[in-house]
Each structure stands twice: as structure tokens, then as C-alpha cells.
Structure 1
Amino acid sequence: MCGALVGVATLIQSSCVRPRPAPTAAGFNLLLITLDTVRADRLGAYGYRKIETPNLDRLASEGVRFAEAGSPVPLTLPAHATILSGLLPPRHGVRNNGAERFPEEPATLATRLGAAGYRTGAFIGAFVLDRRFGLGRGFDHYDDDIPQETNAGLDAERPGRVVTDRALAWLSEKREKPFFAWVHLYDAHAPYAPPEPFRTLYADRPYDGEIAEVDAQVGRLLGELAKQGLAGRTVVAVVGDHGEALGEHGELTHGLLVYEPSLHVPLLLRVPGVLPAGWVVKTPVSLVDLAPTLAGLLERPLPAGAEGSLGGHDLSTTLRQRREPAAEDLYAESLYGTTFGWSTVFALRRGDIKYIAAPRPELYDLGRDPGESHNLEEHQPGNGKELATRIAALAESAGNSAAPAAMDAEARARLLSLGYLAGANLAGAKNTQGKDPKDAVVLFRGFEEAHWALVDGRLADARGRFEKLVGADPTNAVFVGQLAETCRRTGDLQRAIALYRQAVAIAPGDRDARYNLAVTLQEAGRHDEATEALTAAIRLDPRRPEAHNALGIALALRGELEGARLELAKSVELDPHNARAFNNLGNVLRDLKRPEEAERAYRRAAELVPTYADPLNGLGTLEVQRDNPAAAISYFDRALNIAPQLHWRSSGITRPPRFRTSTVHSTSPRSFT
């Protein structure tokens, strides 16, 4: 009897007990730090002992470290599009750097948290994530202020110290609302040139030195949270966008191949009071899961529909319950090879088994073969059939391609200075018939070496290397086009023209080759041919702003001012940040006797680039025409202070005795840029 009573009492007691709810991070701030080009195995927390990364290691000990986090693509822009949206590249449509713009429709962390009342700010380390590529949507403040002087092609990135300074200034603003801050640190990207003291400490391992510098900047950001008393109420997520091959599998950097050195990235998550300190999640996870998980932790879930075959999973409940996530397939792709006319490559990892879909397929057991050196598909063909079928199904369920990004010549030059070709010949995800990228890796390595020589201004070295590449692969339009560009820069315009014609013959749809042929003809003084070539280039790519700018110049030099005005107006419509095009439009409007419109165009050019002399000269010219010499001289002096080396024609206006020349010139080849 007593036993029965005890049993009933126990039953009653147990029925009244409710499971203790898992703690949440509702209302917390969010600090997302993305580490560009950082391999997981180069951090102390992941077992590396040749570099000191105390801040990242401490963060790992205070939060959760994901031992096996995988990037879906070894390229900066598409990887960040996935990090912010929780969608795989086939779903959001951004497959390459510089080729597409992230679409307007998908929700992102910024749009979701901004709508929930968060203050949102982003701080960008390289032009590859410039707002023109669409990731700025939802941010109140998008700091991508990388120098855009008219000759700043190489200033396509800025040091992490500068990025962190900007972020710290924003974080120090006292506001009542919670914040979401995204800080992008680009330092570990090639070429590796760490600042002191890491330049000296890691003189023989500059990549490690760059990561040490990145760690220092992470420390500054974490220190600011502690200083403001915000550390206990801030979710901190640190993640690599992709890794770096460092010569493994023959690849110097990243982008072409989908082996683990380029895909395995660090992922650290600290949520005080919510997630346990020092926990290591061993189940492989994808970066596509990060956005829905962060939104879930903050109890601001992304809209329904973000999950699915091409969307990530919200792991927040699982993590708060301190359980390992369920196993999932990890998808990865690279379409970068299609830029060279080579095949796409896709990968799918299921547990330790990884399949690579390529002209010569590959299958690896990462548990036994982490270096991916023993291709099981060569010895047991067909074992990866199930994974191959899954990849094909994912490809079939892909959404529409993202819209092309608006890219002018400067933008392409800035991406080139970062080592990216801006998807010049991107053939799309269906190009599976070209050369297998792993069989082209020697050519790709040669291309990278030639490219960096070109970027560094070692033109003779670059020309010799590109000559060898063209000799090895004479039907590769990219190699031929880059040799043409090198010839153009060395002043060999006739050889450059011949090579560009060869590139167009190889790839008639190559928009860059057609455009570059046209502008080289223009440089060579072959204006009629240039006009014809520019017209053809615009037919192929009507949204290319610099082509309209170049055609406008060509028409103006032929005296066809109204046609020139229309082309230049189209150029600034497509790219409202192009100071050169606005200046050229001002020149044409001035000669069309439309001074008010000309003044607006010149002023816009001067606003866009305050250190650009030409629009100041144009404004001075207008003041001469208005018989206002004092104002004219003021503009001319400002122009000469910026560019004293320029030659200016005399206008005949009267100047104070200490001045001997004046600075107005009419529409001429020298007027246009």
C-alpha cells in the first residue's frame, strides 16, 4: 500500500514538473566578423602551433568551436552572400566575384534585424564586397570607403586596422537600440604583406603573419565590447569565408578547386549564458546554416522558405539544448574555371565521404585520407553515384541567375588588383564539358604568377609569362587577352590590337575582349575602327557603362556632340559614381552651349572625386565663358594644385601679376578621360 502511494505521489510530482526552457539570446547584440581567406588549420584553437592567435583561441575557449565548418564556394562575394542570407549560391544566384549582384528579394541578417529595430553597420575590407554587388541592403551604415581616386586601381583593399578603426568608432556611439555589426577583415588574402611586428615575426611565413594581424584586430573588437560592458549581451560569430590552398593540389591561392584547404574554415560562436564555453561541435556544418542559426538565437528567425534543399538550417534550438546537430550534406561549387573556358566543379560531403563532380570525378574518405590524395573513384568507379545524383538534383533546383553587376573599367581593374577576373567569360553552371580544372592547375598557377607580375608593374616579366601561357594554350581567350593587355601597357598597341582580335575570334561572346579591342584602337588613333568596335561591344553588353563612356568620347572627337551626349548620359545612368563619365558629359554639354547642365555634371564629378582636376578645370572654363575671371582663376588654381604636371592652354584672361598662365582648354582628346 505504501509502495503504491509512493508511486502515485511520484507520478503526480513528475507530471507537474516542466522541462526547464533553454536560455535564449533575445535582444542581444550581434557582432559578425568574417575572416577572408583564413584556413581553419592555421589557428591555435584548431591545433596549429606555429602562430600565436590568442584572441581567437580565447574566443574558442569561451564559446563553441565548430571543428568541421565548410564553405560552399572558395570565392569572397558568393561566400559572403551565403553567410548573410542562409542560401546556397545556386539559390541566391551569385556564383563568382564581380559577375552578379545579390538580388533584392531574399531576406538577410541585415534586413531581418533592421526590421526588428536593430542598428546595423557593415565595415568592408575590400572592393570585392562593394555595395554595388548588393550586400549593403538592410544596413543603415555600409562603410566600403576604399579609395576611389581616378588612378587608384591598386587601392582595392584596406588594412584590417583601418576597417577596425571604423567599426570601433561606430560601436562607440551610444544608442539605445541593439546593434548588428559586420566586420570584414581581408588581410590574409594574397599578396601576403603583414604589418609590423608580424612582418618580422613571420618573415618566412607571411600568410601566418597576416592571420596574426587579423587576430590582433579581433582582439581590439572584443576589447571594445568588454570596455562598454556589452560582452555579456552580445552574440559574437567569427567565421572564415573560404580558405587558401597554399600550393596544395597545385593551387597557389583559391577559387579554382574545391579541396578542403579552400573549403574548411574556422567557425567560432560565443553566446554568454546561452551556449557552453569550450564546447567543440564535431558534426560537419555548412556556412549556409550560419544566418538562420544566428537569427534563431536572437529569436528573429528568417522568413519561412529560407530553409530547404538550397537553404540553411536553423541550429539554434539544437545548440541551446547542447546537442550535436543532425548530420547534413555539405555542398560546394566553383564556377571560376568557366572564366577560362574550363569545366565547373561541384562537391558534396556526407560525413567523411566527399564526392567531386568533374570531368574526371573524385571520391575521398576524409576520415582516412584528409589530404584528399587517394581518389577512390579511380579504383572503384561508381561508388559516388548516389552523391553525384544528389548534386545533379541540387543543380536542377537552382533558382534564377542573379542580375549582372554594373561594372566599369575601374571596378574591373580593382578586382583584377585583388586577383579576380570578374567573371569575364563566365559560361555558367552548365559548362561541364571543358577541361577539368585539376588538369589545368599548372596553367592556372602560371596565370596567377603572370597576373601578380602585371599587378606589381613588372611588365616585361608579365609579358614573358603570358607569352608562355599563350604558347601552351593558344585557344584560351583569357590568356590571349591578358597578353594583349600587357602589350598595351608596354605601348605595343599594334600587337595588342592583333591579340585582342584573336581573343574575339576565339570567344565571340567575350565582352571584355571586344571592349578592350575598341579602346586600344582608340588609343592607337584609329577612331573610325574604334567607333565601330565600341558599337559592336555595346550590342553585346548594353549595360557596360565604360563602353558608353568610350563611345561618347569617340563621337565627340568626330564632332557628333548630340550622339556623344546620349552615350555619356547612358554611362552615368548605369554608373552614377563614375566621375570620369560625368566630367566627359560636362565637356560635351559645355560645347553644346548648355552651361547649366554642364555645371551640374562637373560638380557631380568633383563631388565624387575631390582630387580630380579635370572637372575643376571645366568649371573654370564655364566661368571664363560667363566673363567671370576671378571665379575662373579660383577653379584653375585648385586644379593646378591637384595636378601641377598637366599642360594647360592659355585662355587670355587677365590674372594678378604673380600669375603668368591660365588654365582653360577646349574640347580635345586631352579633355576626355
Structure 2
Amino acid sequence: MNNVILIMTDQHRADALGCYGNSVVETPNLDWLASQGTRFTHAYSPSPSCVPARASLLTGLDPWHTGILGMGRGQGPMGVGFDYTLPGALAEAGYQTFGVGKMHFYPQRARNGFHETVLDESGRQEDPGFVSDYRSWFLQQRSGPYDISDHGIGWNSWMARPYHAPEALHPTAWTVNEAISFVERRDPTKPFFLKVSFARPHSPYDPPSYYFDLYGDKPIPEPYRGDWDEQHNDPVEALKPDAWRGVQSPEAIRRARQGYYGSITFIDHQLGRLIRVLQKKGLFDPTLFVFLSDHGDMLGDHNLWRKTYAYEGSARIPLIVKPPAAWQQPVLREVSHPVVMQDVMPTILDFLGLEVKRRLDGISMKSLMGGDKEHERTYIHGEHATCYSEEQEMQFLTDGKIKYIWFPRLGTEQLFDLQTDLSESVNLASHPEWHDVIAMWRQRLVQRLASRNLGLTEGDQLVLQAGKPYIVSPYYQKRLEASSYDWLS
């Protein structure tokens, strides 16, 4: 039986890796890993913020069926009650399952199928008396009276600076330390599933000084600008140190991107440590690797920060799959077919030859890696309920070539030709020559949403939601009541 290592970064946009075409950011270990497997160029988060995306990864289900459509009004925490999860399915199959780093579960010590978790929760203390394993370790190792966030940068800030403590105390280093510790002390008689979940490059953009300084003189790409940016020129919001939109100074934007890139390279170098340990122990070749993020980061593109948006910087994610050496069939180095995070669970089960025992929304990507041109999904659907502002509630569709976005509470649409405008700078929704294209994509969304019976559609029309109750999936409450997904089958 092959081992599985799932590596997850937080808020990592797809274009911030060397193997995705970025000539500035240094990611040699991840670039090499990609060369050993398949890189998916149009992978998307189904709901681009932490909890809903991670719930879909955990279960192989769409956000509608996990019941978690966002992190805003009307949305609960991830919770428990999932009776079929990726780590749970692997545990049932005889795998030793271990999660290290950011899980974002609630309660925070919930396992959701893991045998054991060792946590870094980025300062979250949602359970009474909760202290993360990382913070406990940090307080024991520190050389003075400072804490994990005493550099003064918030958990969602656009501000950036080098890490305030020794490099060895950074959560990125700790996460790999714990992953290596598991590899050293695991049960050698069982295959293992290891999830290595980093809390960066999510803000704070605080890499150690070496990595921050590495990008001090490099030509970091500037934010994308477009013909629709002005709607997010919010001078009041921009004054906040954790503003989600608004114009920041060129110096502040560059500093944020410098810290972001430095955080990514630090992650890459630390992953190199883990890879070398696996190689030394003969565990690298027989292991299935999956690398991805939960969502991206706008980094000032179109005057926006953070995530929850349908735009490429927020919704498109890196996704790399390296098969175990025993799977000797050739794989494509690059797949452009659109995929989503809920495809990861059935893909892993498929590679391991394990039966899928519940209904999943995800579709295995294994055949695509082998060159299959026929796939039952030709485009993907994503959504996010209200988080920062009502106007950010959105629904989107894309096939990796065209992207259609609908804002239910504004009643407005956007259409982008990703083949010629990957920066999404020109909104084609009002261009007469694109009328038939936008009508086709609108009808696809109507068909997707009609079955929800929430008043989102009427006939062949999308219905404005301004002033109406927030969209809430009925599956969330059903899961809490039933603690089972049997009612989905």
C-alpha cells in the first residue's frame, strides 16, 4: 500500500510558484515535485475562503452539500458530523492518519477522521481554554517575554515585515518539524496519510529576515488593474490595517508582496527538509503527493485584498499531483481541464484502489493525468456567501477559458476572456459582441441554482437578492441534526 502526503498552503495564489510561470518567486522544491507529476493549470477553490474550501477538501462534497457557503452571515463553523471524510476513509482502510498545522476545525480539537492532529491555529482561540500546540511549544522555546504575534501585524493585514523571533520559531519551521517527527515515529507496519497544513503565506506576511530580504531588489509583479477597479477605491476602508479593499501606496503593496513571496520561498525550503528525510528513508518514491492551497490572495489586484472573490488571484489555486512510483503509467506534466478541490478525495482513493463508499461531488482526476480528453465536467461552479460586504456575495462559473460572475445582491454580472485577459482587466459583460456568450453562461448558472428552490431563479432568469435573507444551505442544519450524510444518498 502506498503512503499519501497532502501538502496544503494557506491563501496561496496559483501564479505565485515558479512552475506556474512566475519567474521571480523561488520555489525549487515544489517546481521539482511538479516535474515528477502533473500540474493542474485551472484548479479552483469551490468557495474561496478557509472554512468552506477546507470542508470540501475534507469531504469531497460541494459547499452546498457540506452546508458551508462562506465565513460570513448565516454561515456556521465547519463543525463535525461528517461520517465520510478523506482521513476517515483512509483510517478505515488501515492507514495511520496524522494532521499537522492548520486544520480550522470546530471544535478545534475535533479529529474529523484523523487519528491525531497537532495544531497551529494562527491565534484562533474558539474553544474555552484552547491553546494551540504550536503556541505551547513557542512559549517553551522563546528566549524572552514575546509571543507569536508580537511583530504587531494582524492575521488579515496587508502590512508586512520580517519575523520578530528567531527563524527556528516560525510556524512554518515548526510545521515541518512536526511532520518529520511523525515520519520518524510512525507505526512502520502501516501505510500513512500525512496532511502538512501551513498557516502561510496567509497574512501576516512575516517571513524570517533572510526570506524577506531575498525579494528586496527583485522585480516583483505589480497588481493587476482594470476598467472596473474604481468600485473598490474605498478611502474609508483603506485606512484600516486589515482593509479588504481600497488603494494602498505602491510602497505598501510592494512590501506586502515581498513578504508574501518570502513566505512562499521559506515554505519551499522547509519542504525540502521533509523531502530529504523521506528520500533517506526510502519513502519518497512509494508516496502519493498532493500539493494545493485552499484559495488565493488578491494582493492589491483591482484594489482588493485577501480572498472570497471569484477572481483568479483569489479563486485559482496551485494543484500538483505526483503519483507513487508503483503507478508506472506516463502522466501529463500539465492538465488544463478545470478541476476543483473536492476532486482531491476521489483522486486519492482512486490511486489507492479504494472503494468510494458514499456519494461524492468530486470527480477523480487520475484519468485526466493519463491523458483522457473526455471528462464529465466541462466547467466548474464556485460561490461564496457574504463575508466582508453584501456586495461580495457571488456565484461564478468557468471552464478555464471564460469566466462568468454574478453578484446576487447587486444584480450585476462580469464576464472575462481568460485566454486573452488572465488579469481580468476588461469586463465584457456589457460588450454587445459578447451578448450570446454571457447569455449562455447565465443559463448555465440558472440551471445550476434552480434546484435549490431559494428564489435565486425564476424561469430562465436570475433573481436579485438585495434585501432578502442570506443564502443558507439546508444541509448544514441537517448535518448537525443527523450527524450523518446518509440523507444525501
Which residue number corresponds to residue 87 of structure 2?
110
- Provide Cα deviations, 1:78-97, integer angstroms capped at 9, x if missing partner: 11111222111111112224
Is the contact made by 1:103 and 1:134 (CA closer than 8 Å) also made in structure 2?
Answer: no
Structure 2 gaps, min length 5: 136-146, 156-169, 217-254, 455-462, 471-489
Given that 1:101 and 1:133 are in contact with CA atoms closer than 8 Å, whether structure 2 keeps it comes out as: no
- The C-alpha deviation readout for 1:6-26, integer Å capped at 9, x for no partner, is xxxxxxxxxxxxxxxxxxxxx
CA contact (8 A) 1:315 1:325 kept: no
Residue in structure 1 matching 2:208, options 191, 195, 211: 195
Alpha-carbon deviation of 1:303?
2.0
Distance 1:325 1:159 in 2: 42
Equivalent residue of 1:389, what SS? helix
2:307–2:315 contact (8 Å) kept in structure 1: no
1:346 equivalent in alignment to 2:411: no
Q: Which has the higher contact order (CA 8 A, sep 6+)?
A: 2
Amino acid of the residue matched to residue 183 of structure 2? L
Residues in 2 aligned to 1:351 and 1:145: alpha-carbon distance in whole angstroms: 34
| Residue of structure 1 in register with 2:178 after alignment | 166
User: Corresponding residue for 1:334?
Assistant: 384
Partner of 1:483: none
2:335 paired with 1:285: no
Matched, 1:121 2:98: yes
Work out whether 1:88 is the aligned partner of 2:59.
Answer: no
Output the CA distance in 2 between the equivalents of 1:315 and 1:135. Answer: 29
- Structure 1 or 2: larger strand share? 2
Task: Tell me which stretches of 4 or more aligned residues in structure 1 moved more than 6 Å.
Answer: 149-154
Q: 1:278 to 1:313 in 2, by over 3 A?
A: closer
Q: Which residue is 1:235 aligned to?
A: 288
List aligned pairs for 1:201-280, cutoff 5 A: 201-203=214-216, 204=255, 205-255=258-308, 257-271=309-323, 272-274=325-327, 276=330, 279-280=333-334
Structure 1 pair 341/431, CA: closer, same or farther in 2 (3 Å)?
Answer: farther
Q: Contact between 1:37 and 1:188, CA under 8 Å: does it hold in 2?
A: yes
Q: Deviations over 1:30-70 (max 9, x none)?
A: 00001111111111111111121110011011111112211
Deviation at 1:342, TM superposition (A): 3.6
Q: Which residue of 2 aligns with 1:180?
A: 193
Aligned mates of 2:67, 2:108 — CA distance in 1: 12
Q: Go from structure 1 to structure 2 and tell me whether the alpha carbon gap of 1:174 and 1:100 turns closer, same or farther (over 3 Å shift).
A: closer
Go from structure 1 to structure 2 and tell me whether the alpha carbon gap of 1:382 and 1:345 turns closer, same or farther (over 3 Å shift). farther
> Could you state the TM-score of these two structures normalised by the residue count of structure 1?
0.51
Indicate the SS of the match to 1:231: coil
Query: What is the SS of the residue equivalent to 1:371?
Result: coil
How far apart are the structure 2 equivalents of 1:164 and 1:398?
42
SS of corresponding position for 1:362 = strand
1:51 aligns to what SS in structure 2?
coil
Matched, 1:374 2:426: yes
- Specify the code of the residue in structure 2 equivalent to 1:346: Q
Of residues 412, 432, 449, the one that matches 2:465 is 432
> Which letter maps to 1:323?
D
In the superposition, relative to structure 1, how do residues 150 and 266 fare at CA in structure 2: closer, same or farther (>3 Å)?
closer
Contact 2:61–2:342 (8 Å) recurs in 1 = yes
Equivalent pair of 1:90/1:398 in contact (CA under 8 Å) = no
Q: In the superposition, relative to structure 1, how do residues 324 and 290 fare at CA in structure 2: closer, same or farther (>3 Å)? A: farther
Deviation at 1:165, TM superposition (A): 1.1
1:28–1:233 Cα contact (<8 Å) kept: yes
Quote how far apart the aligned CAs of 1:121 are.
0.6
Distance 1:346 1:198, change over 3 A: same
1:82–1:89 Cα contact (<8 Å) kept: yes
Number of residue pairs aligned between Structure 1 and Structure 2: 374
Superposed CA deviations along residues 87-146 of structure 1, whole A, max 9, x for unmatched, are 111111122248322451452211110111110011123xx7144169721100011255
Cα pair 2:47 2:383 within 8 Å, conserved: yes
Query: Identity over aligned residues, as a percent?
Result: 30
Structure 2 residue aligned with 1:295: 349
Unaligned segments of structure 1, at least 5 residues: 1-26, 401-429, 436-506, 510-673
2-structure distance, mates of 1:335, 1:83: 18
Higher helix share: 1
Distance 1:135 1:70, change over 3 A: farther
Q: Is the 8 A contact 2:298 2:314 kept in 1?
A: yes
> Which residue, 384, 387, 402 being the options, matches 2:438?
384
- Amino acid aligned to 2:447: A
Distance 1:228 1:208, change over 3 A: same
Counterpart pick for 1:360 among 403, 412, 425: 412
| Secondary structure of the corresponding residue to residue 192 of structure 1 | coil
TM-score normalized with structure 2 length: 0.70
Deviation at 1:244, TM superposition (A): 0.9
